[in-house]
Structure 1
């Protein structure tokens, strides 16, 4: 999950030391409604952020200290009402309490970043077209209490990222459309804390991350209803803490510490009376880490504790007649994946500690009133899951 807000200030020339201190106390609301009869192209991006900040070093060395504190509620809500038809529709709602980016391109960046969110964060996207037809539809709702991006391009980075979220995070939405002629993808992603590291072109990174999610709820709920549809996907993803680190270069060194006490819920529900291909997918996890290096070295020290409210995941599809239908629900307390590409006698040094102390449940339901060609339902619930692999290049 990469949740970066538009309008983040970056520069190609920066001082050797950057310092950022941001405090937001007010509520931040971004709302829009589009009332459409007939249109070829409909675009409705809605973005809200408590604090946003970005720093880039290019061909130079730099240091960064950033402290972001959001205490106000953050809401992004986009609605499209269509009565007749629309060719292509893109509806996105993005809400983040604190959003930061740090980039090292052909240089070295050393950073210390702290993000604290205590304001409720909600992203909601809706398409209301009970009597309308659509060609291709892409609708997304993205919500995060804290989100930090780390980017390297032939660069090196040493970073300490500390995230603390204490407020509810929700990514809600859905669509009602009479007829979908093309492809409709409706998705929602919610995270209490999120970190994305992307390194390319022989980069190297050493990072220490501390993520604490003490919110009551982190939820992603998506509901769709179609009369007749060609290809549709309804997806919901919810995570208390999420870290995704992928690098191409000599070294990726990650020390990750995650603690979640929130109730995590992901629900994807779809109905289509007649359908070609329909899929409802829901994924929920208390703590999640993925660290991979397409290069010779990976060091991973992972500690995860999932406590408090538990994880509940629901995926359901209901239709009358069609071809291929599926519903997949995956619920995990703690998940970690580490991989390294063994190009130059590469090695992995991984240490893992996981503790899940709460209930984890996954439920998948498919209901058919008539006939179908392929009907597939999957439900998977796991307390702790760890996977580590060393492979040759290209595998």
Structure 2
């Protein structure tokens, strides 16, 4: 078999209520898909991270189009062909990554790699996690995506826990008083274990002050208090934090992710395979975390095509900490797949069909497609 075509499909849909982060808000959400076609007629699908900024959808379309010719005509007869093709593309773009955008290139290559694995698994009629020596397991979930006032968020968080989610997570980074009121209100309602995500919204001084403010609330973890590349800052916070520190979703290559796992500055490593360069890079990061006696919690904030790939990662690496399940209202998340994944609040199961995930519903793709 050879690779005959690689196509980017960009989808965009409105949100019923805006999603709010420390860096701003969004009233629409993107889905960036990559389709690989083999000369045998088999198709594979991958997903790239284009949640923000909104114009990243247009950037990623151009990046995938530029990378695609590097893969056309290459063989896909054995699993080693995937790593060979991705490695060659990384080598050819190494200088460009330094000159331009490691984010765009890694996220685009990650989607292509996922699509290649999906096509290969479908061509030999096996789940990718089984090909890679994984085992079926029940993956615990935490819920994120709550909005409204602190009291409304607390009520929604309590309901999510009652439904069976292992934990809940809230976003902060909107000012010390606002952040502490939210954490205090939700923690009072649910007890300890609240997960808190600052989305890289603080300076070192601000993060240090917020650690002190949050100390009484027995947090499950504090996620991304600093920008992703402030390694020294994370080490400083780790020395004085009373709660676990989590980071890694915004690492954009395998080397960066494994270095974080070995840095001694976090307790939870969070590989995002739609950003870090694909399934293999994310697996390497998760294994590095386990090898350093840390835990890992995979990250994916887009559609269930990428979520299925994330579950395959867990099946290969082994027991994770609870992983992210977005519960905010956004129908495209689940409507995109031709058959639903096995997901409940208590756990999610890796896809048992061939490849990484069910194929998308093309009617839905075309309904929301903008590129």
- Give the TM-score normalised by structure 2: 0.25
Whose Rg is larger? 1
- Larger % of helix: which? 2
- Give the TM-score normalised by structure 1: 0.24
- Relative contact order, CA 8 A, sep 6+: which one is greater? 2
